[in-house]
């Protein structure tokens, strides 16, 4: 077993009596002490609470062990954890919440132990984990570079072995982008697969919670724990079987279409990313799949994405306690989004349905679509410094170009590690499935993982 075990390994070792929830929490807290100061992944570390929860598991729940029994997890700042302020990456709130959000409750019910919360840009507005309030979160592979975002804190926590599971959210690539930047597996589930309770939605039709992990199996187990909607949820996914079982079986022979054509005009994929897609296409062909280049004929997503982006920011800003404490850029975004009236938003949601239908036509000819996860390489830290809403959006566009369309369409999509770039930073390729196609993605991603294992941990700094 690894010195930094996966979630599945922890559960297995606890069941065998080789370790305990308390021991795994202590392992996690030691790693946080060692790695977090230089990387700034965690916004708050809940050491006492985590120790208490681990002790409670051992004393009171030995006979009802869930699928994440004893697994330390980290939670992105946009999700409620009882006793913590839900900061959304900024200073707009100051009062701790009384109860866990539903996804956090489900994790605890499955035996997971929450060890802390992780940094994000304010409201997850951009794919870089930088904020005026909390500074930069650093990529563990090269600390002067961005880990991506907006779930960058969770990605760094997992990539360094501080925890095996980090919870994130994805409204335009915010799980897949940091997964690609940090060498992790990250899957955005089908719209409506995971509840947004206590909220009706996360950025309307765009957002969903999800996990960042080092292995495909861990992600499948977590998603099986999190899945399921509640009456409050505006959207509901279709039927799907066990993701854990899917990660353990062969996908069979699939029709895989690959494309490096950008969904966004004027954006071109970096040469390293083109090479990664081509290498993965060759691997899939060698594994027995029917692989060919395709033109997805991407529809234009601006009429659906932009109004929901502004409406999402305005909804969250309206809900904080101290609007005046929000970042200047966030308040500018709020003002610029005043044109998104209820009528405009309803029109954007109708556009979402039309765009989804057009985007999904590619699955008439293929079972899975393979693309880059991002168009560009991770930038140096400070990419948002001094940038207003327009400039920050321009700087973000190449990072989300291949991802955001699938938030609009609602399809499941994942980033799979695909080696290292010429800059010494990880590369990810994106697999996109048809509607309700998570099982297919888990099976195929696990097959790639077995055929082409990826580094599971970012090394500690030399010296």
Q: Which residues are part of the catalytic machinery?
A: 76, 150, 174
The set of residues, in sequence order, having a beta carbon less than 8 Å from that of 183 and lying 6+ positions away, is: 141, 159, 417, 426, 428, 454, 455, 458
How many Å apart are CA 455 and CA 420, to the nearest integer?
10
Task: Show Cβ contacts of residue 433 under 8 Å, excluding neighbours closer than 6 positions.
Answer: 367, 368, 411, 412, 413, 440, 441
Helix (H, G, I), strand (E, B) or coil at 255: strand
92 dihedral zone (left: phi>0; alpha: psi -120 to 50; beta): alpha
| Bridge partners, 6 (sequence order) | none
Is residue 143 packed enough to be buried (19+ CB in 10 Å), middle (13-18) or exposed (0-12)? middle
Kindly state the DSSP code that residue 182 receives in the 8-state scheme. H
With H, G, I as helix, E, B as strand and everything else as coil, classify residue 160. Answer: coil
Q: What is the 3-state secondary structure (H, E, C) of 21-56?
A: HHHHHHHHHHHHHHHHHHHCCEEEECHHHHHHHHHH
For the sheet with 413-420, list strands across it.
42-45, 113-118, 72-76, 165-170, 208-213, 185-188, 413-420, 426-432, 368-372, 255-258, 290-293
- Selection from 203, 204, 201, 175 nearest residue 189 by Cα: 175
Q: Which residues contact 453 (CB under 8 A, 6 or more apart)?
A: none
246, HSE (Cβ side, Cα atoms, 13 Å): 19
Give the containing element (helix H, strand E) for 432: strand 426-432
Six token digits for residue 380: 């140096």
261: Cα separation from own chain's centroid: 23
Helices marked H in 18-175: 21-39, 47-60, 102-109, 152-159
Task: Copy the structure tokens of residue 66.
Answer: 């869930």
Q: For residues 227 and 216, what is the distance between their CA atoms, to the nearest angstrom?
A: 16
- Of 155, 370, 383, which Cα lies nearest the Cα of 255? 370
């Amino acid at each position: 077993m690894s010195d930094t075990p996966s979630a599945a390994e922890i559960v297995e070792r606890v069941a065998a009596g080789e370790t305990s929830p308390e021991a795994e929490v202590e392992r996690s807290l030691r790693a946080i002490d060692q790695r977090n100061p230089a990387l700034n992944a965690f916004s708050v570390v809940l050491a006492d609470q985590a120790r208490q929860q681990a002790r409670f598991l051992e004393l009171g729940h030995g006979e009802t062990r869930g699928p994440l029994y004893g697994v330390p997890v980290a939670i992105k700042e946009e999700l409620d954890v009882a006793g913590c302020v839900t900061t959304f990456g900024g200073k707009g709130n100051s009062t701790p919440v009384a109860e866990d959000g539903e996804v956090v409750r489900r994790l605890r019910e499955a035996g997971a132990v929450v060890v802390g919360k992780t940094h994000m840009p304010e409201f997850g507005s951009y794919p870089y984990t930088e904020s005026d309030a909390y500074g930069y979160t650093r990529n563990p592979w090269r600390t002067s570079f961005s880990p991506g975002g907006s779930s960058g804190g969770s990605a760094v926590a997992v990539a360094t072995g501080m925890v095996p599971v980090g919870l994130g959210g994805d409204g335009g690539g915010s799980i897949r982008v940091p997964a690609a930047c940090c060498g992790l597996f990250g899957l955005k589930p089908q719209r409506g697969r995971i509840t947004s309770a206590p909220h009706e939605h996360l950025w309307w039709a765009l957002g969903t919670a999800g996990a960042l992990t080092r292995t495909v199996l861990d992600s499948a187990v977590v998603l099986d724990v999190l899945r399921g909607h509640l009456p409050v949820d505006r959207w509901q996914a279709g039927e799907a079987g066990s993701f854990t079982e899917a990660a353990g079986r062969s996908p069979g022979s699939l029709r895989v279409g690959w494309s490096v054509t950008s969904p966004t005009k004027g954006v071109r994929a970096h040469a390293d990313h083109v090479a990664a897609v081509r290498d993965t296409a060759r691997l899939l062909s060698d594994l027995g799949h029917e692989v060919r280049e395709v033109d997805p004929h991407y529809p234009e997503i601006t009429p659906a994405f932009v109004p929901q982006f502004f409406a999402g920011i305005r909804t969250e800003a309206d809900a904080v306690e101290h609007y005046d404490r929000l970042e200047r850029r966030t308040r500018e975004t709020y003002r610029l989004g005043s044109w998104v009236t209820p009528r405009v938003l309803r029109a954007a949601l109708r556009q979402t349905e039309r765009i989804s239908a057009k985007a999904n036509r590619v699955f008439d000819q293929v079972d899975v679509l393979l693309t880059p996860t991002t168009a560009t390489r991770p930038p140096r830290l400070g990419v948002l410094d001094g940038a207003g809403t327009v400039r920050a959006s321009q700087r973000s566009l190449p990072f989300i170009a291949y991802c955001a369309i699938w938030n609009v369409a609602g399809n499941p999509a994942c980033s799979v590690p695909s080696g290292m770039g010429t800059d010494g930073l990880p590369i990810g390729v994106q697999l996109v499935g048809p509607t309700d196609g998570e099982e297919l993605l888990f099976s195929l991603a696990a097959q790639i993982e077995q055929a082409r294992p990826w580094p599971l941990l970012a090394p500690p700094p030399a010296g």
